[in-house]
Structure 1
Amino acid sequence: MNAGRLAIDPFWQCICPSWTLATSRTAARLVTRPRRPTFQCLNAPRVRQKSDAEIRHYKNLGRHKEDRSTPVLSPFATSAPQRPPRQPRPPEEKQKPPEPETSIDWQNEPTQYIYNHMRGAAIDGKVSLVRFLAELLVKERREKPSVQLYNMLILSNVGYQEGMGWRVGELIEDMEKDGLSPDGGTCHAGLKVFAVHPDHILRADILHYMSKHWIQVTEDGAHDVAAGLLREGLYEQGLERLDMMRREDMRISPWLLDMAVWILCEAGEIQEAYRIMRQRVDSAEINISRTLWLFFLDKASENHHHAATALVWTAQVEQHFINPASGVCLNVLATAAQAADASLATDVFTHLSKRSATFQPIHYELLISTYLATDPPDLQRALTILTIMALEKVEPTRAETRALYLYMRDEPESLPEAITVFRELNDQGRKIPIAALNVIVESYVHQANLDDAMKLYKQMHTFAPETSGAQTSFANIETFNLLLKACREVDPPDEHQASFLVSELLALRVTPTALTYDRLILLFMRAGTKNIQRSGKAKDPENCTKLRARGLELLDWSFRHFTEMRPLGWLPRFGTLEDLSVALASVGDTRCWDVLQVAEDERQNISGWDVKGGAVRRNVERAWETSMAKEPISNSPSESERAAAAA
């Protein structure tokens, strides 16, 4: 039958579209690019035996090919982008290729032995040795260049030290010069090289060539394709390849799955890594690397992926297969708190206690957050954690009670329950830390419930353990600062309770802080302003005089607390300075300029004054002008006003 007529037969073209008249006459070309002068890797001998100098020249062939400055084009595309030219290194900087195994007398070895040894060297990625043996076979043994030889030359580039991905294209071009067509072995060797030296353009062209010529990708080749895609960062395509391999019932090697999980975790794709690990666990795969489990737990807990973290903890940590570090355990605890997994959080504490780890306040804080995030919230256990901290001699602070405060401030009915829980724990001999009571006071303050806050303050001494003896109170400065804030938040501000708290603070010898003075300034300033506003609305002249005098007296107390801060090296906050200066200016008190001057002098120590100080001055000037239009200048309450206030 005529070959040309067979190639153009319509039925034959339908079955095999790639078989055309052109392909029936010549071998299919993978390399379709402009011809350029090149030095072929393999050349069959023509006339005579080569001299020793020529043999040395062929032995150094690898060095010449690597130093080519001509750009290498894609061997599968006609218009592929050119690579930047390789700059040849100076002769003294060139690294000589490794010498072939000198213990073997290659001249006396049989040809089949050389082929077998060459095949093993190609698998090991020994580029120089494979090229030397190939030249030996062609030049000395007069072997014809074959697809088998070129396949081994291509495969030898799989090594990460000597191998280069761009050599694959040049070797395929040399094959075509010798009249050889790439086969399945050539394509799979290239795919294996690109799994180590990724080049998505060449890989895509090889896959296209295989599809066009009906060359099926083997299971090993599918592994190489997926590995190359993942290493290039083409995660979606790599995962699609893995899914396709599963659909085709291919056995996926553990090394590929390990690499996929590792790369995805490094990229932050924890959900996809978890999907792979979940499938491996569900399929009862054994001998998964413990190093991979530890790495997966580290990344999953770091990214607060609850499902992945719980998987590793249940399958590995609880079975005592791996022992994560304390820092990883802290991340696991934070993940459990975010996901409201009280069981996992408790397991972490149990695991750490077995290794006699020293618990830090952050561990207890996360455990409290976990109990409060459960549905329904477990307030009793969360409060109990504070007493456990005191038992472990870790005194809780305001930081560890933030989760409790956020919960109780929005749930007023939980406050009596919290007091009852602390009462029961105290009856059991547990030490109730002052921070635990302060968080209840703070919740009352947020609700502007001064009465219940003061009631709890007066009962604080009853929460002291019986072994500590009789105590009048063990309130600290934070307790008083919270109560002073409560006195200010009620309407009208309660200066009488504030005066009582100041006397209590002095009697208990509690050292005040800058915040204490700041809140006293605000409290008396607002109380004074409130009285002055009420005096303007009073119909009784005598009552109007008393209210105004009382208001001026409270403003005077506020200014005195301001002056008491100066010798101690403290300054009120930005908002306090503005409110005080404006309040004094609104009643025509010249001391407003003193406050403003202090703020100007200490502007570098007051946050925000450089930006908003000008606006404060304008507000003070505006208040001063308004007061001057109503009443004369005064420096302090007059004697008559003081007497009226005292009466």
Structure 2
Amino acid sequence: MADRDGSARTVRILLQEMQQAGIQAKALMYHNVLAALAIHPDYTLRNEVLREMQQRWISKTVLDECYEAIGLLRDTQYEMAFDKLETMIKDGIFIPPWVYEVFIIVFSNSGFLDEAYQLMSRRLTMFRNPPPAFMLNILELLHPSDIVVQNVIHTGARYGDPAMILQAIDLLASRGTKIGLVQFEPLLDCYALIGEMNNALRVFSLMNRTGLKVRRISTRGVYICLTKDPKAIQSYIDALHDADNVPIATVNVLFEVLHSFKDAQTSMEVYKSISSLTDEFATSETFGYLVDLAEDPSTLVFLADEAAMVVPKLQIRTTLLHKLANACAEAGKLDLAVRYFTRVNEEWRGQVTKTQKKLMKDAYRITFQNVFRALVKARDTRAANVLRLGKVRMAMLGAGLRRELDATWPEVWEEIQNKKQENALKREAAREEEGAPADISVRVPLPEELDSLYDELENSTQFEHVSRPLEELKEK
């Protein structure tokens, strides 16, 4: 009956059949039934058997007491099982070591570590030489691995329990484990989830002081919180003013949120007070959000000037570089215009596929014309450099701009024409030195030369297999 493949229902049916047949159960039968119900728990049937044993004055053995306690434990009635075990201990009943081991393992797996530790101490006191496998299991449960502790941290972040995360981080720190981004980022997400931005910024500050580089992914919890609740944006700005030594990433995430709401005015207000929010300089990411939102030409020129001072090698989308170059050219800020057109040209040359260049061609032509026209209007000698820098074809200038250049600044136009002829001669000389065939695109063959070629083909025997008559080819 104690077979693991059995069931409490089988025990009940057997007892009913014995009762119908008039067979009276003996003490051994009751003992076996309690043993079976320890493996296949049935609280009601177990109480009926114990009541019958009491009515028939059948005493319970030590194993019966153990089976009853194990049955309660198996039935997940942990408090009643522990009370039963404590009663047995107080009554001086000898409890086999395997009963302690079952209780300790079940309590440890269920999270009752205090009770498990208490029973393990008693078991070690009463019985020496515990089984090694048993001890290793308990040590692992009482001293969880770093992976288990890290899972606890992620669970705390998911359910918004910073106390759990901090306790787990303290445990890792006590072991000498280096606390890094994998521990701090769940804590940041947790604080953002429950709306405690002040504590989140303290964690950012701690990460900054310890030399941890705060990545964009580290701010995703803050971004989600602020986009879900726009009213929290002002509270976050106030918290930034009160915070100390926070990285620029904490401000960039604010610009990202404002960019998602298309709030250009607040973005510029925040940028103008950025020195009071963080000790770090703005980055390409900062200017990317600001330039994309800005529409006023004066604001674009201001941002272009700021970016030139703060981020010399600005890394933003090519469309935004066009935007800055055009705004500076229209405002007459030639240094900035040439600077950003140079960056546009670098991006233009960096496009490796024809499709990408085709998509950028119109924008490139417009930006070039605006910058070039501004330089010509100011009679700035860098106009010729801009032409050479972009290797611009004459078609890209446009007829209107060519006439304007010829009329207002003929010497530059003459220099451009001379430069083109000089480059053509250099290329032809290089071909002759390398022994390469002449460029057939330089000169169109004369008609008499074509007739001579056709005569040679007629007299040649190498082309007898050609089916099309050469006379038809001549006519065409």
TM-score range (shorter-chain normalised) is 0.3 to 0.5
TM-score, normalization: structure 2?
A: 0.47
Return the structure number with greater helix share.
2
TM-score, normalization: structure 1?
A: 0.36
